[in-house]
Structures are given as C-alpha cells and as structure tokens.
C-alpha cells in the first residue's frame, strides 16, 4: 500500500484536474493543522493570529484555513467533502477577518500546489496580504518540506514522526474523494457500505479512521471504537514504510509488524484505493 506523492498524470483534462484540486484542498491542506500543533516554530509564527483564509475554485471545491487561539483548523466549504469532526471549525474562528483567494480553474489551484505558478486572485482581505506573503507562505513551505522526505531527513526521528502523521492524514482524507470521483476507485465503493476502518501506529498513535455507510464515507483523525476492520503498525518506522510503499506488506503481516483484523475485504479494498493517490498528487 502506498500513499506517497508520485508523479501526477499529465493531460487528463478537467475531471482529472478537478479531482486533484479536491485532494489538494481536502486531503493535503489539512496537514497544516498538524504543522501548527506539532512544530514549535510554526506554532510561534501564528500564535497571535486570528484569521480565516478561504480557497475557492470557480465551479469547484473550496476550503477554509482558520487561525485562532494558537490553533489552526481546516474545513471544507463545499458540502460534498466528507471529513470528520477534527476538521470542523469552532465557533468564532472567523472573527479576526477573512482572506478569500479565488482560482479561475482547478488547474490554476493545482499549479499553485505544484509550485508552478497558479497565483490566485485575492477577492477579500487585501489588508492581510502581508500575512499571506510571509507567515502563511512559511507554513505551506514547512508542510511541503515534511511531505517530501529524503533518506537524510528520515534519519531525524522528529521528521520521521511528522511525515508519518501527515501521510496518514492524507491517506484517510483522500479515500472519500477517490471513491466518489476516481473511476477506478469507484469500482470498490460497494465494499465500503457500512462499519468502520481504523489505522493506528503503536504504541501511542497517530491514528485515523473511516466511518462507512452507503450514503457517505467520513474520514476522522484519532481513534475509532470497535472498528470493523483494523490495521495496526508496530511503530513509526513500520508505518512510514507502509505508507510510502517501501514495505513488503505480506512479510510484515507474517512477522507481526503489521496486524490486520476484522473484515479483511475492506482492508484489501482500502489498499487498492490508496494506490490511486500517487496518480494525482505530486
């Protein structure tokens, strides 16, 4: 199973670009929450900030990144994004002002996330553009840093832990999007008709989960009580290899590094869905 960002397929048209934009806003961008929560330098950078930054794509997805009380929360602004309570916006978080960034197309937003231009049109919050150019840019650069590992960076246990946390979040939050919009993943949708799936890193997390129903699949951060399917990874090293596609999963299960229990059909289908992530993210 691999959720590592890979080379995005080029030239697939509007549907491909739209799906990539949804993944960028609803699976990758939520990683800013963990960057602020776990990286002391980034926490200090926005400690006194009270501001909401909206990303809006014409005819497409939208999301809000909210800073208040030393915390960062990310939530969807389009109704069809299936995310859990960990991404909900607490009351009052928008009281400090709003910056709205408008993108004329999904492709434009994707170019920004890829670092290939894609400068948005600011529609609101012109007085806060200094924050966007300084603090917010540093935050997104730090997120990118954590999501683009090298062997040297992996030697740092703190980096390894953060990369694994972010990869786990990206994996979980990508699943509802892929099952709805990716034609290959959609073929497995019927398997996720009920129950729940939990993925956890021993001994103390992080953990994510998926709450399943015929109508909606919701990704959540944190543990799930009594999941119907469970994947437990022995430690952060095993979890990192598992998520980055460098682990021999069958061997890891055989020797106990990865424990799988419950409805194995759901676990198998989840692995096939997550293999679609590198098709879209780079």
Query: Which domains are delineated in the chain?
Result: 14-147 (3.30.1050.10), 174-280 (3.30.1050.10)
30-39, 56-65, 92-101, 227-236: range with lowest mean pLDDT: 92-101
Whether residue 7 has pLDDT greater than 70: no
Cα angle 170, 163, 168; round to 5: 30
The whole-number average pLDDT for the span 232-240 is: 95
Q: What's the pLDDT score for residue 129?
A: 85
Whether residue 89 has pLDDT greater than 50: no
Whether residue 10 has pLDDT greater than 70: no
Report strand pairing: 121-124 vs 98-103: antiparallel
Q: Residue 116's pLDDT band (boundaries 50, 70, 90)?
A: confident
For all residues of the chain together, what is the average pLDDT?
Answer: 88
Condensed to tens digits (0 to 9), the pLDDT of residues 200-221 reads 999 998 999 999 999 999 999 9
Q: What's the pLDDT score for residue 126?
A: 86
Element (H, E) at 113: helix 106-114
Residue 78's CB is within 10 A of a number of other CB atoms, namely 14
C-alpha–C-alpha distance, residues 274 and 278, integer Å: 8
Element (H, E) at 175: helix 157-181
Q: Residue 85's pLDDT band (boundaries 50, 70, 90)?
A: very low
Q: What's the pLDDT score for residue 245?
A: 81
C-alpha–C-alpha distance, residues 4 and 23, integer Å: 13
């Amino acid at each position: 199973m691999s959720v590592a960002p890979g080379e995005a397929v080029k030239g697939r048209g509007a549907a491909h670009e739209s799906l990539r934009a949804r993944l960028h806003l609803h699976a990758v961008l939520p990683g800013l929450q963990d960057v602020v929560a776990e990286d002391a330098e980034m926490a200090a950078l926005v400690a006194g900030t009270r501001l909401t930054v909206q990303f809006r794509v014409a005819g497409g997805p939208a999301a809000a990144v909210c800073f208040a009380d030393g915390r960062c929360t990310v939530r969807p602004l389009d109704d069809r994004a299936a995310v859990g309570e960990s991404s909900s916006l607490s009351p009052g978080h928008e009281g400090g002002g709003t910056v709205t960034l408008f993108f004329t197309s999904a492709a434009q937003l994707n170019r920004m996330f890829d670092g290939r231009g894609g400068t948005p049109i600011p529609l609101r919050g012109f007085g806060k553009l200094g924050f966007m150019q300084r603090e917010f840019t540093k935050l997104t650069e730090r997120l990118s840093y954590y999501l683009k590992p090298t062997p040297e960076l992996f030697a740092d246990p703190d980096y390894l832990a953060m990369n694994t946390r972010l990869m786990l979040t990206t994996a979980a939050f990508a699943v509802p999007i892929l099952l709805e919009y990716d034609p290959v993943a959609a073929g497995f949708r019927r398997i996720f008709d009920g129950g729940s799936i939990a993925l956890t890193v021993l001994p103390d997390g992080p953990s994510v989960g998926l709450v399943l129903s015929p109508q909606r699949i919701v990704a959540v951060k944190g543990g799930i009580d009594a999941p119907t399917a469970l994947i437990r990874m022995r430690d952060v090293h095993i979890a990192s290899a598992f998520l980055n596609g460098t682990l021999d999963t069958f061997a890891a299960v055989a020797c106990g590094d990865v424990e799988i229990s419950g409805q194995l059909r759901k676990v198998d289908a989840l692995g096939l869905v997550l293999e679609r992530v590198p098709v879209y993210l780079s």
